[in-house]
Amino acid sequence: MWHGSKNLAKKMHAAGQQKGCSILLQWIKDICNYFWFCCKMTENFDNFYDMWAGLLNHVTGEHEWPLDAGQRPSGERRDKAWIENGSVAHRALSEVILNQRWLKEVHKYLHFRSTAELESFHNHILMYASKRFSFSRPVYEARIFLAGLDYNHHVHRPPRRKPDGSVQYRKLYNKKSRKWCLYAIKEEKDYRYIPQLQRAIVGKRVASGRGLPRLTAATQSDPRQYGVLFVAPASSTQQPLKSQASRGQSKKQML
């Protein structure tokens, strides 16, 4: 689902860069939300297409948005203008949402399953085990376990509250849609599981009857023994000296 919505947003952003189509940038988030709504409410492609094609009427003001029904009080002023029917922007929108190549992938999203939480956890792992560094297998496993403990303990943190009890938000500007978005700020992490984990580690070490090892021999599978891996073999010093030149200095001056 997330990938389908992201792909749709990229196509909408590209269409909004065309002359006379800048109004589409204001509708990116609403159209992506409507895509999620259509995938949730339909079970087959025919039903999806009927709802999805109706988007061309919704954006012109002929009907209310299904997602907005009941969420906005009547008489509230809209924060965006309607798209004129038959205009350049309306035709560009039609080419995006009715693109046959994109519609062939829609059946993958009708199950309405999202991997957002899984991808969030994978991104969280990089805080403990960055791809820029190599780790031995025991160290890597320990870092993954720490990432899992951190994620599970703090994933359901409540939002931060102001002194008056209201939720504290943070404003972020989206360059693609050219709109400000609000995100609730969560409470700070407390890491209350760390002391318990430390006691368990020390207790297991004391009960083992062994001291800490001073030196550890590298295993044959340790990738660090290979050092830095070069794509091309190293050349002599004279060869790059003849070919490269510093800024503001010619090759003849260097020689």
Phi, psi of 37 (to 5 degrees): -65, -45
Bridge-based pairing state of the strands 179-184 and 169-174? antiparallel
Residue-level pLDDT at 66: 47
Show the CA angle centred on residue 84, arms to residues 83 and 90, nearest 5°: 70
Residue-level pLDDT at 122: 93
**Taking the mean position of all CA atoms in its chain, how far away is CA 89?**
28
* Residue among 9, 57, 69 nearest 35 (CA): 9
Q: Are 178 and 26 in contact (CB under 8 A)?
A: yes
DSSP 49: H
Q: Which two tokens stand for residue 33?
A: 């939300």
Its sign, for the CA torsion 17, 20, 23, 28, is negative
DSSP 213: -
Burial 16-37 (b: 16+ CB within 10 A, else e): beeeebebbbbbbbbbbebbbb
- Distance from C-alpha of 1 to C-alpha of 110, rounded to nearest angstrom: 9
* Residue among 75, 79, 83, 89 nearest 181 (CA): 79
Q: Going by C-beta distance under 8 Å and a sequence separation of 6 or more, which residues neighbour residue 113?
A: 1
The segments of the chain whose pLDDT lies below 70 read 63-79, 176-177, 213, 230-232, 234-235, 239-255
Q: Going by C-beta distance under 8 Å and a sequence separation of 6 or more, which residues neighbour residue 181?
A: 29, 171, 172, 173, 174
Amino acid letter, 90: H
Return the percent helix, strand and coil in the chain, to nearest 5.
Answer: 50, 5, 45
Residue-level pLDDT at 92: 92
Q: Which two tokens stand for residue 61?
A: 């003001």
SS3 for 113?
A: coil
* Residue among 97, 77, 101, 109 nearest 27 (CA): 97
Residue-level pLDDT at 208: 84
Could you list the beta-strand ranges (E) of the chain: 169-174, 179-184
Residue-level pLDDT at 123: 93
